[in-house]
Structure 1
Amino acid sequence: MKKLQLDGAGLGLRRELLFPLMAEVPAAIDFFEISPENWLELGGKRARDFRWFTERYPFVAHGLSLSIGGPDPLDIDFIKRIKQFLFNHHIRLYTEHLSYCSNNGHLYDLFPIPFTEQAVRYTAERIRQVQDILEHRIAIENASYYAASPLSEMDEAAFIRAVVEEADCWLHLDVNNIYVNSINHGYDPVAFLMSLPGERIVYGHVAGHDRDGPDLIIDSHGQAVIDPVWELLAIAYEQFGLFPTLLERDFNIPPLAELLVEVQQIESLQNKWRNRYLKQSA
């Protein structure tokens, strides 16, 4: 597979962070991520500020509304707008969730696709259609979910493997989503991680979550990353090698200095893995 021209540690670009980041982008931040739906229609100063960043730093676009597994037809006009947006801003990668968010209109949430052979074929065909329009491969993210479909015929990991293989797309690995699902659905997160197709991982996320009970946590992206999630990321590097990894923080956004500590934690884990690999290769 073609190597993705992106590496290091990244941070989600939020409008609250534009001013401090324009004053100085810390060296630990190698790239930024945005949700294109939040930036497509920008005009005036906001558009100029965004262009200032995309002219200077690598970017990833992480979509929210493609609804890759949904029953509604793909929005071809929207995909073409995404294509132009990616081109205009030289964005290195476009990723989406392995889920759906529309059914006779947008549902404003992400819902799980039933883990069935039929859903594999249906979803993979839609991914291939998107890739044909964009003229490049996309990455699909393992999604968090809170209620398993009674229609499922296989487990989540087998479904993910089948979809990315049939679609011939990349895998966007969200280690927080693995941890969230492992608590909510009672499985071993390390075993799940090890069962994924590592050769297709090109990008990663870490994030925080909120605990609503002993057996229920919510993928909120509103808290600091916890130790078990950092440990999963370290295991992923050990198992699959380095991949660019981003800190997601969408709510309760603290000052940039606090976020930077977590970006530096990604950088530290990457350096630890790199140094160990160099020693083993010497």
Structure 2
Amino acid sequence: MLQSQLGKVGLGLRREMLDDFLLSPPSEAQFFEVAPENWLKMGGKFGRQFKQLTQRHQFICHGLSLSLGSPNALDVAFVKELKTFFDEHNILLYSEHLSYCSGSGHMYDLMPIPFTEEAVTHVASRIRQVQDILERTIAIENVSYYAAPGQQMSEQDFTLAVLEEADCDLLLDVNNIYVNSINHQYDALEFMRAMPQARIAYGHVAGHFVEAEDLLIDTHGAPVCDPVWDLLDKTYQYHGVFPTLLERDFNIPDIVELRGELNQIHSLQTQAQLNTKGVA
């Protein structure tokens, strides 16, 4: 299982981190994650630096433009490019968002898929097609959303149905669970516990912006807040420890602050493992 191959704590790699990480990568991160769209065509200095890092460290990819919920035909040529890229850089895992970002054109945003039985069938079919081309299982991420047009099912039931019908893995984003639980007034613990443990490939944790008491915006541009750390702790206690990655897309702090958050993940994982041993 992939969990046994990956390190326990990861960090999203941004281009501005390349120089520093080539000289002294943070020891607190055992693997790194990139959006393949940002690196597929990258050449020159950045391309060479990226290749050096992928030769030395564990890497996974988290996609932005597969558009699993789109009504348009799957971009098969793009998926084949991904396959070549993954092979070249020894990418251990590919994940994508349970959303869509294209229709008659590209929207450059992650839009919510209608929570319907028809959408389950459509999305699951596209995931299976991607997996067949890539010849590997992919993970889908539970996403943050701010409206649910045409909703016939709960987010929880929709997510579970897609996972089962597509027979794919889950990227469990703990911050997104918390954000959605506030915005849509559901029980974050109930949602977390309903997710199938056997399908969790890895997890995400990130910060968000508080727009209002009942409106949180998923930004990846702030420190992880205490309620999200608490939910991650409870997730480990319930599902066991799984590889977990810190996302920080902008307002990137200095390495000392990033190391502090990475160490917080390590600390929660260690405590959960100790608790498990104590029960045993």
- Larger CA deviation: 7-16 vs 86-95: 7-16
1:26 deviation in Å? 2.4
Q: Does the 8 Å CA contact 1:7/1:243 hold for their aligned counterparts?
A: no
Question: Does residue 246 of structure 2 align to residue 247 of structure 1?
Answer: yes
CA distance in 1, matches of 2:3, 2:225: 30
Question: Does residue 228 of structure 2 align to residue 264 of structure 1?
Answer: no
CA distance in 2, matches of 1:15, 1:44: 13
Q: Does the 8 Å CA contact 2:3/2:242 hold for their aligned counterparts?
A: no
CA distance in 2, matches of 1:215, 1:274: 34
CA distance in 2, matches of 1:82, 1:2: 19
Matched residue, 1:187: 186
Amino acid at match of 1:262: E
Matched residue, 1:158: 157
Q: Does the 8 Å CA contact 1:169/1:200 hold for their aligned counterparts?
A: yes
Matched residue, 2:100: 100
1:199 deviation in Å? 1.6
Normalising by structure 1, we get a TM-score of 0.97
Amino acid at match of 2:192: L
Q: Does the 8 Å CA contact 1:170/1:201 hold for their aligned counterparts?
A: yes
Q: What CA deviation, in whole Å up to 9, does each residue of 1:76-105 have, x standing for no partner? A: 000000111111000100000000000112
Q: Does the 8 Å CA contact 1:17/1:256 hold for their aligned counterparts?
A: no
Identity %: 57
Matched residue, 2:59: 59
Taking only aligned residues, the RMSD between alpha carbons, in angstroms, comes to 1.1
1:55 deviation in Å? 0.5
Amino acid at match of 2:170: L
Normalising by structure 2, we get a TM-score of 0.97
- Larger CA deviation: 127-136 vs 184-193: 184-193
CA distance in 2, matches of 1:279, 1:266: 20
Matched residue, 1:7: 7
Q: Structure 2: where are the runs of 5+ without partners?
A: none
Matched residue, 1:221: 220
1:156 deviation in Å? 0.3
Q: Does the 8 Å CA contact 2:207/2:218 hold for their aligned counterparts?
A: yes
Tell me: CA distance 1:131–1:58, structure 2 relative to 1, closer, same or farther (3 Å): same
**Any idea what SS the aligned residue of 1:246 has?**
strand
Matched residue, 1:207: 206
Q: What CA deviation, in whole Å up to 9, does each residue of 1:241-267 have, x standing for no partner? A: 111100000010111111111011111
Matched residue, 1:18: 18
Matched residue, 2:122: 122
Matched residue, 2:29: 29
CA distance in 2, matches of 1:24, 1:253: 17
CA distance in 1, matches of 2:73, 2:4: 29
CA distance in 2, matches of 1:69, 1:148: 14
1:4 deviation in Å? 5.3
- Larger CA deviation: 131-140 vs 180-189: 180-189
Query: 4+ runs of 1 displaced by more than 6 Å?
Result: none
Amino acid at match of 1:31: F
* Number of equivalent positions: 280
CA distance in 2, matches of 1:202, 1:252: 28
CA distance in 2, matches of 1:91, 1:233: 26
**Any idea what SS the aligned residue of 2:91 has?**
coil
CA distance in 2, matches of 1:280, 1:25: 36
Q: Structure 1: where are the runs of 5+ without partners?
A: none
